[in-house]
């Protein structure tokens, strides 16, 4: 029996039979964890973001991507909020992610585009999850399981990542039509993914849309009648003629990354506690390699969050936090577990809370600023917020 036949594997321990149990380990399991840092996720922001997209795309279906644990926000709660906001389906990079959310009792329609479990078609069919097929061999593997699973055929239109290239498309859809007639699978969708959706110049996006329209026409001529056709992601919604497709896939925009500039709200606020306050003196260096040297006597605050928790190491020298009612500069290198903050002569006490990033409404840095300081994407920072950070949900 496959591990995927059961919603959750039983927890085991080397001493589960009762012989020689380690009392230290038993104590460690029993005590509560005190989190030094916390990611506060505003579920109303997620609902708001879905509603905002709905206003721009009133006539089609909305798929909310909750892959990668909902971009680090926590998949179960984020999925529920997205559905409450008006999403119709949930999207996942990996089938295993969809199966894990199904195991929590979530019953919404789901689509996964990377098949990463054994006997993937059987498990997808058993748990009513649509899957993607990217090429001929993939199609034949799905058909061989003969489950009747719902399939979305992926077309390569310009991203040069997943998908069937134009030279093989006619053969693929002909075989798909045959397998569908035999009941081995059902073709429920045809889709592709954009390469330049964030560009103001939409020429490449229009070219990809034209290629996908050609592929859909070939598929229909082969006898396929897909329920869904989809191309646009969050930033592509405003670039593509909504009459051409009946579904959009929203990822980053669900969580407030507003590449399209349509009034989205960041859903996550990252906070951490001050663990120590100390005086330091002019001429002294702070943190590894002393890249930060004090120009005056100052007070330093040690904050318990670091690059192991998702703060980008490359942001050192530019990064700021909100503490004691104002922005404070991060002093020196970002360590694995902690950062130091320069307070000047201001008073902060141990146990105070620093805001690393948030929506920016009270002056605190945003995740967009952290991404700029580190030369990376907001997506990467959100997805990197680690397991040591407690998620707390509001609204």
239 has a pLDDT exceeding 80: no
Nearest alpha-carbon partner for 365 in 276, 272, 278, 289: 272
d(CA 267, CA 384): 15
Predicted confidence (pLDDT) per residue in 132-191, tens digit: 999 999 999 999 999 999 999 999 988 889 999 999 999 999 999 999 999 999 999 999
Count of CB atoms situated within 10 Å of the CB of 362: 9
Q: Which of 67, 80, 307, 382 is catalytic?
A: 67
Q: Do domains 43-255 and 268-394 have the same CATH topology?
A: no
Nearest alpha-carbon partner for 132 in 190, 62, 179, 214: 190
Length of the chain: 395
Q: How far is CA 261 from CA 49, 78, 150, 238, 331, in A?
A: 12, 22, 34, 10, 33
CA angle (82, 87, 93) in 5-degree steps: 80
For range 342-354, the mean pLDDT: 93
284 has a pLDDT exceeding 60: yes
Q: What phi and psi, each to the nearest 5 degrees, are found at residue 377?
A: -105, 150
Q: Which residues of 20-44 are buried (b: 16+ CB within 10 A; e: fewer)?
A: eeeeeeeeeeeeeeebbbbbbbbbe
Pairing between strand 129-133 and 149-154?
A: parallel
> What are the residues whose beta carbons fall under 8 Å from the beta carbon of 165, sequence distance 6 or more?
156
231 has a pLDDT exceeding 80: yes
For range 384-395, the mean pLDDT: 93
Does residue 338 or residue 234 have the better pLDDT? Answer: 338
Q: What phi and psi, each to the nearest 5 degrees, are found at residue 159?
A: -75, -30
Nearest alpha-carbon partner for 380 in 304, 288, 313: 313
Q: How confident is the model at residue 325 (pLDDT cuts 50, 70, 90)?
A: very high
Q: Which pLDDT score, from 0 to 100, does residue 206 have?
A: 87
Q: Which pLDDT score, from 0 to 100, does residue 203 have?
A: 84
d(CA 114, CA 125): 15
**Cα Rg of the chain, angstroms:** 25
CATH annotation of 43-255: 3.20.20.10
375 has a pLDDT exceeding 50: yes
Q: How confident is the model at residue 91 (pLDDT cuts 50, 70, 90)?
A: very high
d(CA 10, CA 13): 10
- 222, 177 contact by CB (below 8 A): yes
Class of domain 268-394: mainly beta
96 has a pLDDT exceeding 90: yes
Instruction: Provide the token pair at 49.
Output: 């973001």
Predicted confidence (pLDDT) per residue in 7-23, tens digit: 333 333 333 344 456 66
d(CA 323, CA 273): 10
Q: How far is CA 369 from CA 122, 163, 202, 304, in A?
A: 44, 34, 26, 20
Q: Which pLDDT score, from 0 to 100, does residue 196 have?
A: 85
Q: How far is CA 12 from CA 9, 16, 26, 66, 169, in A?
A: 9, 6, 13, 29, 48
For range 241-253, the mean pLDDT: 89
Does residue 364 or residue 236 have the better pLDDT? Answer: 364
The mean predicted confidence, pLDDT, of the chain is: 90
Q: How confident is the model at residue 5 (pLDDT cuts 50, 70, 90)?
A: very low
Predicted confidence (pLDDT) per residue in 14-63, tens digit: 333 444 566 666 666 666 666 789 999 999 999 999 999 998 888 889 99
Name the strand (E) or helix (H) holding 383: helix 378-384
Residue 67 annotated to the active site: yes
Q: Which pLDDT score, from 0 to 100, does residue 26 have?
A: 66
- 334, 307 contact by CB (below 8 A): yes
Residue 61 annotated to the active site: no
Q: How confident is the model at residue 66 (pLDDT cuts 50, 70, 90)?
A: very high
So where are the chain's domains? 43-255, 268-394
Binding residues for substrate: 161, 336
95 has a pLDDT exceeding 70: yes
299 has a pLDDT exceeding 70: yes
Does residue 12 or residue 102 have the better pLDDT? Answer: 102
């Amino acid at each position: 029996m496959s591990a995927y036949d059961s919603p959750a594997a039983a927890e085991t321990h080397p001493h589960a039979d009762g012989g020689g149990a380690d009392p230290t380990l038993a104590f460690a399991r029993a005590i509560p964890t005190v989190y030094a840092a916390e990611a506060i996720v505003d579920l109303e922001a997620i609902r708001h973001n879905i509603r905002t997209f709905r206003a721009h795309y009133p006539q089609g279906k909305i798929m909310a991507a909750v892959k990668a644990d909902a971009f680090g926000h926590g998949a179960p709660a984020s999925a529920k909020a997205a559905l409450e906001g008006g999403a119709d389906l949930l999207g996942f990079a990996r089938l295993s992610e969809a199966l894990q959310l199904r195991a929590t009792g979530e019953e919404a329609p789901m689509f996964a585009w990377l098949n990463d479990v054994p006997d993937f078609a059987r498990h997808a069919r058993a748990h009513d999850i649509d899957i993607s097929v990217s090429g001929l061999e993939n199609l034949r593997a799905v058909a061989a399981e003969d489950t009747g699973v719902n399939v979305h055929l992926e077309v390569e239109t310009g991203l040069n990542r997943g998908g069937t290239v134009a030279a093989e498309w006619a053969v693929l859809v002909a075989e798909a039509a045959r397998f569908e007639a035999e009941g081995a699978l059902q073709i429920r969708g045809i889709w592709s993914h954009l390469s330049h959706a964030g560009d103001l110049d939409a020429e490449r996006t229009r070219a990809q849309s034209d290629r996908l329209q050609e592929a859909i026409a070939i598929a229909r001529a082969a006898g396929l009648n897909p329920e869904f056709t989809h191309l646009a992601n969050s930033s592509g919604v405003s670039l593509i003629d909504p009459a051409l497709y009946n579904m959009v896939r929203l990822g980053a925009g669900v969580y407030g990354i507003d590449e399209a500039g349509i009034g989205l709200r960041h859903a996550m606020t990252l906070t951490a506690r001050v663990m120590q306050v100390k005086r330091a003196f002019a001429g002294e260096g702070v943190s590894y390699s002393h890249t930060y040297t004090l120009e005056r006597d100052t007070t330093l605050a040690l904050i318990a969050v670091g690059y192991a928790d998702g703060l980008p190491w490359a942001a050192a020298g530019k990064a700021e936090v909100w503490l004691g009612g104002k922005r404070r500069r991060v002093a020196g290198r970002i360590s694995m577990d902690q950062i130091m903050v320069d307070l000047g002569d201001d008073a902060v006490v141990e146990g105070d809370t620093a805001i690393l990033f948030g929506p920016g409404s009270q002056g605190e840095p945003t995740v967009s600023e952290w991404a700029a300081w580190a030369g990376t994407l907001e997506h990467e920072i959100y997805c990197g917020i680690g397991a040591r950070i407690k998620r707390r949900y509001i609204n």
